[in-house]
Structure 1
Amino acid sequence: MSNTKTRTRFLAAGRQLMFRYGFSSMSINQLLQTANASRGAFYYHFKSKEGLGLEMLQESFDVCFSGLSMLMHGEADSPGDSHIDQWIKELLTQPCDRLRLIAQLNAEAEYLPEEMQAALTVHTERTLALLVRYIELLPAQRRLTGCSTGQLANMLYSLWLGTALLSRAQESPEAMKAAMVATMSILSVTAGATPF
């Protein structure tokens, strides 16, 4: 089996076990059994369980928020409302395992190794900074009144993470659909003027 497939199996097994037991409670032995791989293969790909956790964290933020990053850094073909609208739909309508992983790691943050806590903080701050930047580019009449851009960014991020956990508990897409409607309403994302 190729190294890439083995690494991917470990990441998938890590997510599965984290959702069941939490990061702190999952063991290397459970991981090996779930991935159907050897201890040597694990340590070939990751220095430790924390190394696996850091990679799951990085991958999850990349999957969830790289689209926003591309929009904000001008890497999209033609950025505008339709692109942010599409990114929000993708974030909130596709299977949200990666978003849920971010939410679950946030819930466990005080029990995570220091290196993972620091990485979670850095990724969260980067994501919030991108959201603030996007909100600041919106015309004032399109923003929710009574909140600063930082408060709006935190509100959206909290909404998305909370909804990712709730949608799994309810085993229904309704929570994610409601979050999408709320997000679109908060950002007043409609066809028309673009903030870019």
Structure 2
Amino acid sequence: MTAPKKSEQTRSRILAEGRALVLAQGFGGLGLTELLTVSGVPKGSFYYYFPSKEAFGCEMLNAYVTDYLAALDAIIAQPQPAAERMDSFFSSALGGDAGSMADRCLVVKLAAEITDLSEDMRQILDDGVTAVCDRLAQMLREGAEDGSIILQVDPACAATLLYSQWLGAAIIAKLSRRPHPLEQALADTRRRFFT
């Protein structure tokens, strides 16, 4: 396996640093000069890596969605009953080294901001949410089969409503700067879905 080229490493570093800055400041608040300084890239080099700020945003969101789905897929692949896997996924939303879902979720941070700013960025996030809901529906079906989750009449609809609840809880947790809304969402998920 060959090592990534220096330009690919630099591009990845810009994307990673950009994600951290966007989580802190929003996409509109992201200054390209600050991004390049934090990334250790000479000023004026941004357009060598990305044709526009929007193109950068699309690449950043694509990488975010890919990482998020890979983490969820790793949980889904575990051998435990579906309810335990789902509980693991939602419990991780309460916090860890990177903070809670309220702190690290780009859907929570950007959904309202980019909807009017960029159709391409909006579509990437929307497709990512749809993919998460599809995976949650899969776990709901598996849980009904293994007896760990209460049978849902429409697993796809239930998964969408469940994830919507969690996104709302993350927004309220961010607004209040308290974990209580996420803790309530976890308790409610366990009560409504797990046998």
What TM-score does the superposition give when structure 2 sets the normalisation length? Answer: 0.72
Give 1:1-196 correspondences, 5 Å limit. 4=9, 7-8=12-13, 10-17=15-22, 19-20=24-25, 22-24=26-28, 26-32=30-36, 35=39, 37-72=41-76, 75-76=77-78, 78-80=79-81, 81-94=83-96, 95=99, 96=101, 97-99=103-105, 101-139=106-144, 142-143=149-150, 148-188=154-194
The count of corresponding residues between Structure 1 and Structure 2 is 182
Provide, for residues 81-103 of structure 1, a one-character-per-residue CA deviation record: whole Å limited to 9, x for no partner: 4333222212333313332x112
1:57 Cα deviation from its structure 2 partner: 1.8
1:61–1:102: 8 Å Cα contact kept in structure 2? no
Provide, for residues 36-69 of structure 1, a one-character-per-residue CA deviation record: whole Å limited to 9, x for no partner: 6433443344332223222332333344443332
1:130 Cα deviation from its structure 2 partner: 1.2
Give distance in 1, aligned partners of 2:188 and 2:31: 38
Change in Cα spacing, 1:82 to 1:5, as seen in structure 2 (3 Å) is farther
2:15–2:59: 8 Å Cα contact kept in structure 1? no
Give distance in 1, aligned partners of 2:114 and 2:65: 16
1:14 Cα deviation from its structure 2 partner: 4.3
CA RMSD of aligned residues (A): 3.1
Amino acid corresponding to residue 168 of structure 1 in structure 2: K
Structure 1 gap segments, 5+ residues each:
191-196
1:18–1:26: 8 Å Cα contact kept in structure 2? no
1:10 Cα deviation from its structure 2 partner: 4.8
Change in Cα spacing, 1:103 to 1:155, as seen in structure 2 (3 Å) is same
What TM-score does the superposition give when structure 1 sets the normalisation length? Answer: 0.72
Structure 2 gap segments, 5+ residues each:
1-5
Provide, for residues 99-135 of structure 1, a one-character-per-residue CA deviation record: whole Å limited to 9, x for no partner: 2x11232223422322212222221221111112221
SS at structure 2 position matched to 1:68? helix
2:15–2:60: 8 Å Cα contact kept in structure 1? no
Give distance in 2, aligned partners of 1:134 and 1:114: 30
1:144 Cα deviation from its structure 2 partner: 7.2
